[in-house]
A and B are shown apart, each in its own frame.
Chain A
Amino acid sequence: MALNLNFTFDDNTYRHYLNGELMVLHCHHYMALYTKLAEDMSDYGGPKILKESVEDAFLGFINQVVSDSSLSDPASRLAGGAELYSVLGLGTMEVSGSEAGGEVSLVRSHVDEGWKKKWGNNHKFINHFTCGYVAAMFSAAYGKGARTYDVNEVASIAMGEAKGRITVKQK
Chain B
Amino acid sequence: MTVLRDTVVKNLAEIEVKGDQDGLIPAFNVLVNNLPTAFWNNFAERMVAAVPADQRAAVVEGLVLSAYECGYHTGYGIITSDEFKSVVEPMVTEGAKDVLRGAFAVFTAWGWAKSGIVQLKEGERMVIRAVDYYESDSGGEGLRAYMINGISKAFFELAYASPYPDGMNTFNCKQTKGIENGDSFGEFVVEKK
Which A residues have a C-beta under 8 Å from some C-beta of B? Answer: 5, 7-9, 13-16, 18, 21-31, 33-34, 36-38, 40-41, 44-46, 49-50, 52-54, 56-58, 61, 85-93, 107-108, 110, 113-114, 117
Contact = CB atoms under 8 A, between A and B. Distances in A.
B51 A57 contact: no
A117 B59 contact: no
Interface string B24-60: 1100101111111111101100110011100100010
A68 to B, nearest CB: 15
B148 to A, nearest CB: 12
A89 B39 contact: no
A27 B51 contact: no
Contacts of A92: 22-23
B132 A14 contact: yes
Contact of A24 (B24, B37, B62, B73): B37
Interface string B121-135: 000000000001010
A49 B126 CA distance: 35
A9 B32 CA distance: 18
A49 B47 contact: yes
B65 interface: yes
Contacts, number: 179
Interface of B: 9, 13, 15-19, 22-25, 28, 30-40, 42-43, 46-47, 50-52, 55, 59, 62-63, 65-67, 69-70, 73-74, 108-112, 114, 132, 134, 137
A70 to B, nearest CB: 20
Contacts of A31: 33
Most chain A CB inside 10 Å of its own CB: which residue of B32, B35, B46? B35
